[in-house]
Structures are given as C-alpha cells and as structure tokens.
Amino acid sequence: MSGPSRPNSKLGSTTSAERPREGERLQKVLARAGIGSRRASEELIAAGRVVVDGTTAVLGQRVDTQHARITLDGVPVVVASDVVHWLLNKPVGAVTTASDPQRRATVMDLVPTTPRVFPVGRLDRDTEGLIVMTNDGDLAQLLAHPSHGVEKEYLAEVEGVPTPAEVRTLREGVDLDDGRTSPASVRIVQQRGDSSALSITIHEGRKRQVRRMCDAVGHPVVRLVRVRIGPVVDRQLPPGKWRPLTPAEVRGLYASALSTQNDASKAPG
C-alpha cells in the first residue's frame, strides 16, 4: 500500500501528467479558458499543440490550475481563477499610478478594489484611451518591456496640417533629446480648418513620445487618445469605464508580445 502523497518539490517532483488523479481534466480547463469546446480542446491535445509545464500534454491529463503553466502553440493560456485582465478607457485627468501624493484621481479609482490590479504601462494625465489593468505579472512584463515592442495606436488631433515631408519624418524617425524614434506608422485621417487628426502607431514606450514627436515637426497635440494595444480595440467603451478582456484578447496580447520578441531574436546581430 502506498503512503501519503508528498508535497511537490523541485527535486523528485512528479509532472502533472504523472498525477492523473489530481486537478481538473485538461480539456475542461482549456474549454473554460475560451480555447474552444471540450471536443475541440481534446483535438488540440491529441495534435500535440498543448504543453503543460514544459511537456507535451496527453489526453486524459489532469492539471492544477493554480500552478500549471499551459501553452497552446507556444502562447500561454491563463487558467488560474484569481488572475484577471481588465481593459480601462482612461479619461483625461486620471493619473496612471497606484497612488498619488497630490491626491489626484488615479486609474485605481476607476476599477474594483479587489482583486488588486495594477496598470500596464502609462498614459500621461492629459491623454485618454485604452490601458490594461491586471494582476498577471507575466503578461504585464511582456507588454511593458521595450524589447517586446507591442504596437500601440493613437489618434492625435494636432495644430495645423503636416506636410508630406513632415509625415515622412514622423514615419522614419524624429530626433528627440533621448535619441531618434523608431519607425512609426503615420497617416492623416482627417483635416478640418487649422487642425488635423493623425493615426500614429508606435512600438516604443518613451515618456510622452507621441506628443514630443508631433512637437518636433511643429504640430503640437491638442488631444491624444490611445485607441489600440496590440490586437485589442474597443470603440464602444466609454471614458472612465472598464470591462474584462476576453480570453481571445488576452491570448492575442500574449501572442503579439511573444511574436515581436521572437522576430527580434531572429534579427541579424
């Protein structure tokens, strides 16, 4: 008769595949995480596309959802019940910080107090738009780290109408006091009187970068709104409101960050 089970440890620990009576069935976990139906999840497992704790998963496998690291096609699948991902449309006036010594309104005032989340990246006080709020440290690190270069799209209302040469400068790189900016996607989407609206997509995270870029070519920003983070867009979310990200959106953010990381690692020295 076998003795009582031993707690997990790094030495001599068994994999989740070797503990068939512990945890939940993997296909059920994947289905709940929005990957697909249980049948579809079983097909993904059978095809060898699912990995648990570094080992290709097998049909019938059970997993501990609080500790197992699960990937599908190399992209993490978040299954822990206490991990949340929220999308907030930050209004003008709110600061992107957990607390403010000047007692100004912060993004933390706009989302539930539990579970405790934190903003990923920053938007300055006068900038509006989308920001991810989460307690998922892995995703936060991927999205915030400059080397991963996740695209962020802004709609900038600026003074005047940039010339073709000025638009080209914004696209190719602007010399700022902390160096030249990386290439960006820039186009004029609207012109009205003495102002215009630009769509500007960058993958850097410098402080007040879009405002400084526009200042550098002589067209100061009047209003700035972040409208996209990687694949995530929401034109209907009102300022000051939040909603949960869908499993597909979370997976899309992970995939976007990991794909740019992989592209960078393949670039010639």
Name the residues annotated as catalytic: 124
> Both tokens of residue 214?
């526009």
> Both tokens of residue 145?
């780290």
**CB proximity list for 117: less than 8 A, separation 6 or greater:** 84, 86, 111, 133, 134, 135
**CB proximity list for 19: less than 8 A, separation 6 or greater:** 62
Q: What does residue 134 show for φ and ψ, rounded to 5 degrees?
A: -160, 165
The helix/strand/coil state of 56 is strand
Report the Cα 256 to chain-centroid distance in Å. 8
In DSSP terms, 50 is beta-bridged to 72
